[in-house]
Structure 1
Amino acid sequence: MSNPVTVHLRYEIDADKTPEFREYGQRWIRLVERLGGTHHGYFLPSEGDSDEAFALFTFSSLAAYEQYRLAAETDPECVEAYRFAVETKCIRRYERRFLAPVFE
């Protein structure tokens, strides 16, 4: 039995481009789901730091996540979503962490 893996992304975003980052996130929620993951959402600034956002999504295993990454490199919608972020410069940088989720 493989162990699920949850990917935690911490983004440093341009606070003036939060609407663009929201659009980017909405695109990726659907894409992660289509490519086999379970997306838990994007979390935008509310109170506190205005340039920090987060995302969480889970795959059934690290191998399934790696398959997703390979598929995303050539998937036209994924390529377009990435291009959108680059062109709008809504993301300054990001960090990725892998977590072991605990579900009931």
Structure 2
Amino acid sequence: MVTCFLRYVVDPYKLDDFETYGRMWIRLVKKFGGDHHGYFMPSEGTNNVALAMFTFPSFAEYERYREASMHDAECQEAWALAERTRCIVSWERSFFRPVFSANRA
């Protein structure tokens, strides 16, 4: 299992556009077999950082999703929205593996 953690620097004047973008990707990650844990929008404090996390059963499955998304019309539409609105200033992507309690089956 691998979880992708995304940290976005967003334009604080375009949060509605970014939220629309995020809602699109939640469904798209699920479409390709991932489990999306949501987008987390700025609230109190920093007004230009948003986060997202989603999980795939393996890094290989994540790579298949990345390849398939490059050719998917809905994914292209989501990327076009971000490009057109310029709601994303920059982003960082990291990968993590979960650790569960010893009692977890």
TM-score interval, smaller chain: over 0.9
Deviations 1:39-70 (A, max 9, x none): 00000000110000000000000000000000
Pair 1:48-2:42 in alignment = no
Q: Greater Rg, structure 1 or structure 2?
A: 2
Q: Tell me the equivalent position of 1:16.
A: 13
Q: For 2:45, what is the secondary structure of its paired residue?
A: coil
Q: Tell me the equivalent position of 1:98.
A: 95
Counting only pairs closer than 5 Å after superposition, residues 64-103 of structure 1 correspond to structure 2 as 64-103=61-100
Question: Which amino acid in the other structure matches residue 84 of structure 1?
Answer: L
From 32, 37, 41, the equivalent of 1:35 is 32
Q: For 2:70, what is the secondary structure of its paired residue?
A: helix
Q: TM-score, normalised by structure 1?
A: 0.95
Give the aligned CA root-mean-square deviation in angstroms: 0.7
Aligned residues: 101
From 3, 8, 18, the equivalent of 1:6 is 3
* Misfit runs of 4+, over 2 Å: none
Structure 2 gap segments, 5+ residues each: none
Q: Quick one: percent identity of the two aligned structures?
A: 52
Structure 1 gap segments, 5+ residues each: none
Q: CA deviation at 1:101?
A: 1.6
Q: CA deviation at 1:102?
A: 2.9
